[in-house]
Amino acid sequence: MTTTNLNRITERRENTLHGLRVAITGGTSGLGLALVREFLGRGAHVAFVARRREHVERVARHHPPAHGIVGDVSKKDDIHPIAMQIVGVLGGLDVLINNASDLGPVPLALLADTGCEDLERALATNVLGPFRLTKALLGALGSSAREGRGAVVLNVSSDAAINPYPGWGAYGASKAALHHLTRIWNEELTEQGIAFLTLDPGDMDTPMHAAAVPGADPSQLKRPELAARELTDAIGELLLFMNSERNVPETIR
């Protein structure tokens, strides 16, 4: 491929993300914060969610015009207020990224030593939360698809969804459920123009990784900024593909 062709493809991908309305859960730390920055840098309109108000306000202050929303995706009663604020501040929704996550027991524990409450919390955050939030936002995503903008839901996964790592039972089982849920959502809704992705960002230097593996050498871990660029590129590629399939303009403005 010539450099000119490569530049053209990169430019088309960048244009595809410009003006996109993107919601990111867990946007105040690690990968989520890097995603907020990456999408803002590419001209998208961004709303992000996290539980701790002071962190939400700090990130919003430092990243205008991103909109911060305080909420807990593991709590049923928080889901509709979160969804309404997302659609309200963005004026609709094209991309939902379910990134917020719970590690299960910390320090990590074998299943026999895992409290039922720890498993419940991991499932509530990593499976039920994304499920409820996606359901609450399906109308907005469907509108976006019908307008030819393309709609994508990215559920952030992990290699622990596939590999049975001892000590990662609550987290791994919840990520496995999220992974499969995503594939079924995709089968059910892709015809209606809503695509679902599940991607593993890799082992990153973030507070979650430090909590899980306290002795890890950060220099051996992926930078969350790199993972955010890769995930954003994947969403851009998918939207380009969806738009070319539907023969609608590639630029969303």
Ligand X SMILES: NC(=O)c1ccc[n+]([C@@H]2O[C@H](COP(=O)([O-])OP(=O)(O)OC[C@H]3O[C@@H](n4cnc5c(N)ncnc54)[C@H](OP(=O)(O)O)[C@@H]3O)[C@@H](O)[C@H]2O)c1
The residues annotated as belonging to the active site are 171
Residue 253: closest CA among 88, 61, 18, 4: 18
Q: Toward ligand X, which CB reaches closer, 87 or 128? A: 128
Tokens of 39: 């999408």
- Strand ranges of the sheet holding 67-70, from the earlier edge strand across to the other edge: 67-70, 45-50, 21-25, 95-98, 151-156, 194-199
Least separation in angstroms between CB 152 and ligand X: 16
Binding string, residues 78-117; x marks residues near ligand X by CB under 6 A: ---------------------xxxx---------------
The footprint of ligand X on this chain (CB under 6 A) covers a number of residues equal to 32
> Is 31 among the residues that bind ligand X (CB under 6 A)?
yes
Nearest to ligand X of 129, 193 (CB atom) = 129
| Burial readout 86-117 (b: 16 or more C-beta within 10 A, e: otherwise) | bbebbebbbbbbbbbbbbbbeebbeeeebeee
Determine which residue in the list 13, 16, 32, 83 makes contact with ligand X, applying CB under 6 A. Answer: 32
Cα of 54 vs its chain's centroid, Å? 21
CB of 206 to ligand X, least distance (A): 3
73 is a contact residue toward ligand X (CB under 6 A): yes
Kind plus residue range of the DSSP H or E element containing 155: strand 151-156
The span from the first CA to the last CA of the chain, in angstroms, equals 29
The window from 21-29, 37-45, 110-118, 140-148 that contacts ligand X (CB under 6 A) reads: 21-29
Closest distance of CB 137 from ligand X, Å: 15
**Binders of ligand X among 160-199, rule CB under 6 A?**
none
> By beta-carbon distance, which residue lies closest to ligand X?
30
Between helices 129-146 and 76-90, what is the axis angle to 10°?
30
The one-letter amino acid at 135: K
Query: Which spans of this chain sit near ligand X (rule: CB under 6 A)?
Result: 25-32, 49-52, 55, 72-74, 99-102, 125, 156, 158, 200-201, 203-204, 206-209, 224
